[in-house]
């Protein structure tokens, strides 16, 4: 009889398993029911957010315990499943800090350079797709519990840290693309939902888009200028518009007068003069390395470098353009660094010698 009573009492006396992280019963640290673990991951993704600084991120990582480092490394995908704790705690801590700082740098680069090309079209979760399409993520996101918010951050983060060679233009609709960018910017820039910060984020996002449009416009203008300067276009323009007088007649008086003045300045060559630079050639480039031009900041190989009489080096195109700007003024061109007048130019090719002489001596 005593044995039967012991058998009956065993289920009630059985000790329940406790979580290895929070020491609470009813769950373990490997599932998502641990509230302490949810708070830890929320703090982790707040460190990835660009609203914090790198210093705050490293200080937060230095304060983590051994168990917290293990959980964070597994969440970020830097935990070595084969070796486990064979790797030291300090090594995992340093690896986690490096991954956090690397992720912050990638997010900042993509937010500044590719604001409209961040992919989220491959996200398979129905919740993520719903949040992106309904254009109300700022409200719906904060209505979820912390575990679901971390899940959304984790899924979106995977597509934010793509390598650049794998980045492709998303095939989603334009209005959905705008919503997608607003989604990602909100997740990583606006964890506090204050109106002032939302306004600042919208202004920064509008400034990024405006700068991107300005760069695209400059690129189109450069292509258009190159097309107008092509020699094949001049005969076609003369066939369409043989003379300039009819065109000037339809213009207002002030505009027509300014147009005629500009035309006279363009065709009047008496004001131009040649400065008579001494151009020399140095055939050997063995001891000459590539350098960065101080004017255009482009890396210039040795064969396209020019050395002035003051021993300062620039690229050939910058010196030619500078000489062209000074052809119609009374002061000769000078070095861009020491302001010494240019008298002697040394290049590393006979072809550049003849080209340079024709350019600067015969405007």
State the pLDDT at residue 2. Answer: 47
Does pLDDT of 176 surpass 50?
Answer: no
The predicted model gives 201-217 an average pLDDT of 67
The angle that helices 35-48 and 89-113 make with each other, rounded to 10 degrees, is: 50
Does pLDDT of 82 surpass 60?
Answer: yes
The predicted model gives 255-280 an average pLDDT of 54
Identify which of 123-137, 229-243, 348-362 has the greatest average pLDDT. Answer: 348-362
State the pLDDT at residue 126. Answer: 41
The predicted model gives 195-208 an average pLDDT of 61
Q: Average model confidence (pLDDT) for the chain?
A: 62
Please give the Cα distance from 204 to 216 (Å, whole number): 19
Torsion of CA 43, 48, 52, 54, to 10 degrees: 110
Q: Model confidence at 234, in pLDDT bands (50, 70, 90)?
A: low
Candidate from 214-218, 229-233, 334-338 with smallest mean pLDDT: 229-233
State the pLDDT at residue 195. Answer: 58
Q: Model confidence at 309, in pLDDT bands (50, 70, 90)?
A: confident
State the pLDDT at residue 292. Answer: 82
Torsion of CA 122, 126, 131, 133, to 10 degrees: 70
Q: Model confidence at 37, in pLDDT bands (50, 70, 90)?
A: confident
Fold category of 278-361 in CATH: Herpes Virus-1 (3.30.40)
The side-by-side arrangement of strands in the sheet containing 305-308 is 278-281, 344-347, 305-308, 313-315
Task: Give, for 341, the enclosing helix (H) or strand (E).
Answer: none
Identify which of 65-79, 187-201, 212-226 has the greatest average pLDDT. Answer: 65-79
State the pLDDT at residue 359. Answer: 56
Rg (CA), the chain: 34
Q: Model confidence at 200, in pLDDT bands (50, 70, 90)?
A: low
Q: Model confidence at 272, in pLDDT bands (50, 70, 90)?
A: very low
Sequence ranges of the chain with CATH classification 3.30.40: 278-361
State the pLDDT at residue 175. Answer: 44
DSSP structure string for 82-133: TTGGGS-HHHHHHHHHHHHHHHHHHHHHHHHH-TT----TT---HHHHHHHH
DSSP structure string for 121-168: TT---HHHHHHHHTS-HHHHHHHS-HHHHHHHHHHHHHHHS--GGG--
State the pLDDT at residue 242. Answer: 46
* Backbone dihedral angles phi then psi of residue 274, each to the nearest 5 degrees: -105, 135
State the pLDDT at residue 97. Answer: 85
Task: Give, for 344, the enclosing helix (H) or strand (E).
Answer: strand 344-347
Please give the Cα distance from 71 to 67 (Å, whole number): 6
Does pLDDT of 166 surpass 80?
Answer: no
Does pLDDT of 141 surpass 50?
Answer: yes
The predicted model gives 102-119 an average pLDDT of 55
Q: Model confidence at 113, in pLDDT bands (50, 70, 90)?
A: very low
Work out whether strand 291-292 and strand 299-300 pair parallel, antiparallel, or are unpaired: antiparallel
Please state, in angstroms and as integers, the Cα–Cα distance from residue 295 to each residue in 85, 278, 331, following that order: 54, 22, 20
């Amino acid at each position: 009889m005593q044995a039967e009573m012991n058998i009956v009492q065993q289920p009630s006396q059985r000790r329940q398993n406790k979580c290895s992280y929070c020491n609470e019963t009813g769950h373990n640290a490997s599932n998502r029911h641990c509230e302490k673990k949810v708070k830890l991951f929320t703090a982790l993704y707040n460190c990835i957010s660009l609203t914090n600084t790198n210093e705050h991120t490293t200080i937060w990582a230095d304060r983590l315990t051994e168990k917290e480092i293990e959980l964070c490394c597994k969440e970020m995908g830097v935990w070595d499943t084969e070796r486990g704790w064979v790797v030291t705690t300090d090594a995992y801590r340093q690896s986690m800090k490096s991954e956090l700082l690397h992720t912050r740098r990638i997010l900042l680069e993509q937010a500044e350079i590719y604001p409209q090309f961040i992919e989220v079209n491959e996200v398979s979760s129905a919740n993520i797709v719903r949040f992106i399409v309904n254009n109300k993520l700022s409200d719906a996101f904060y209505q979820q519990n912390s575990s679901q918010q971390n899940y959304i951050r984790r899924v979106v983060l995977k597509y934010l840290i793509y390598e650049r060679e794998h980045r492709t233009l998303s095939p989603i609709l334009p209005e959905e693309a705008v919503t997608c960018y607003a989604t990602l910017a909100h997740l990583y820039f606006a964890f506090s939902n204050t109106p002032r910060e939302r306004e600042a984020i919208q202004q920064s996002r509008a400034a990024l888009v405006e700068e991107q449009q300005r760069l695209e416009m400059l690129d189109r203008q450069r292509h258009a200028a190159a097309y107008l300067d092509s020699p094949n276009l001049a005969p076609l323009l003369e066939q369409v518009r043989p003379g300039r007088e009819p065109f000037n007649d339809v213009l207002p008086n002030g505009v027509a007068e300014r147009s005629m003045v500009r035309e006279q300045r363009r065709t009047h060559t008496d004001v131009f003069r040649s400065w008579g630079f001494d151009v020399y050639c140095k055939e050997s480039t063995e001891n000459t390395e590539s350098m960065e031009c101080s004017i255009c900041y482009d890396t210039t190989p040795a064969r396209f470098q020019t050395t002035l009489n003051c021993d300062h080096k620039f690229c050939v195109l910058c010196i030619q353009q500078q000489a062209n700007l000074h052809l119609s003024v009374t002061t000769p061109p000078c070095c861009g660094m020491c302001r010494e007048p240019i008298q002697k130019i040394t290049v590393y090719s006979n072809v550049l010698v003849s080209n340079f002489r024709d350019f600067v001596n015969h405007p």
